[in-house]
Structure 1
């Protein structure tokens, strides 16, 4: 049941996540709708992408928004976008531990097939779900919190 909940959160989060970096990847008109597929793409190693996603989450938790923005390709999102999300996430309290993780992937167009790591994080007052999109070349292509 918990994995299904995380998968549903993943699908919703990916749709919203693309709003953060989707503008930089072009072709909004005439493009076909993206379809998320459960599981990682063939190029992705589960342990490696989980570690990479957690490294990005750790930067967010440490409020190193410039460091997080630097993990994206050009044009990188503004660090202030992450700062706004950080302020919104303050109500859940401090990070305590990682929880369940699940995976999906989607065709990112010019970015190729991107892996999506959906990582649950236990915090003082509630849980957060981070969705981190990773391109085959290692750049982040999305970062979403729900």
Structure 2
């Protein structure tokens, strides 16, 4: 919980202990590939034995979560050194926690972005969105079918005669 409060303070969001429902580390431990007592290369730049697992913080209100994410977009490049943690400085990120379906959909949308030269693919409030370029409409991607629908451009439709 302490780290969640530190991150919120760094981002300029007023968060109280009672605003946090739960805070827990998730996923497998990340090992550096170096056994204890072994020297040499392989531990990475910092030489630390392991990096921390992602921290999932659940807050009481969606408005608080949205404010945290919005503040993260404004204040990029936050590091653990800014939080006063003693470990080697590493960047930290604040993201939506997506469902498995939306996480896979988001990954496919990012792949399509590279292939089709889209400008933006993002998530907001747990939903996946895509935009072809600045000033164009934002499309809510709900299924893989939406990826093909968004990728078809009007100039191509006229050329085919549709």
Q: TM-score range by the shorter chain?
A: under 0.3
The normalised TM-score by structure 1 is 0.23
- Structure of larger gyration radius: 2
User: Which structure exhibits the higher relative contact order, with contacts defined as CA atoms closer than 8 Å and separated by 6 or more residues?
Assistant: 1
The normalised TM-score by structure 2 is 0.22
Q: Which has the higher strand share?
A: 1
Q: Which has the higher helix share?
A: 1
